[in-house]
Amino acid sequence: MKGVPPDYYARMHAVEERHWWHRGMRELELALLRERLPPGARFLDAGCGTGGFLRFLLDSGAIGSAAGVDVSAEAVELARSRVPEAELAVASVASLPFPDAAFDAAALNDVLQHLPEEEVGQALSELGRVLRVGAPVVVRTGASRRARRERRDWRAYDRATLHAELERGGFRCDYVSDANLAGSIVAELTGRRPGAPTGDRCGIPARGSPVAAAVGTALLRAERAIARTGSPIPFGHTLVAVATRA
């Protein structure tokens, strides 16, 4: 990934299982997916990073088998150590090494924001190709009150733009919401608006205090309960969507 420090994936691997934000977002996404997953679902994480989401889904019993791709060979190697039972490959989401209709569900976490504009449609088309008709996909991406692109490989979506992007890509967008309301307000007030990654700022959260972790965990659990009702969160630096392969 352009602009990130050389130890980016090692740092991601170290924090994503235990940090409250990662845990809370995984639980939120599973809450949105769980009732849509068939028994023994075969699941694809398109942009799997170091494998934290796949490990969580397998350990929760929500899926039967797992596969993942990432453009980083280092990330995939770390994912193999964490999820040895998964089928993992170094590949782009715009060219997936799987047959048609191979999966029952998928995730696209923190991927769309890094794709050049001309690759977004191809990536969604490829994801649709490897999903069975009616399969759900959960999407997480960076958010802004108004969609903006800072760099060819970094953008932030707003709700309307993400909804339209998924619909153009052959999905029915069933739900889209901001997330991490309180944390995002604090970030705004302290001048930590999300932006394109650099060597000094790459989006991996600092460990923080136990108190901050407890508060953050409780607030994301409250958002998970709201999401289950189908109501959106009004503001956040993260967007979460659930869509169905049409």
pLDDT in tens, 113-168: 999 999 999 999 999 999 999 999 999 999 988 898 888 888 999 999 999 999 99
Contact 152, 116 (CB under 8 A): yes
The structure's pTM equals 0.93
Contact 235, 188 (CB under 8 A): no
Residue 20 Cα distances to 15, 107, 155, 240, angstroms:
9, 20, 24, 17
The count of other CB atoms within 10 Å of the CB of residue 6 is 8
Task: Compute the C-alpha angle 59/65/66, nearest 5°.
Answer: 85
Averaged pLDDT for residues 163-191: 92
Percentage of residues of the chain with pLDDT beyond 70: 96
| Coil, helix or strand at residue 133 | coil
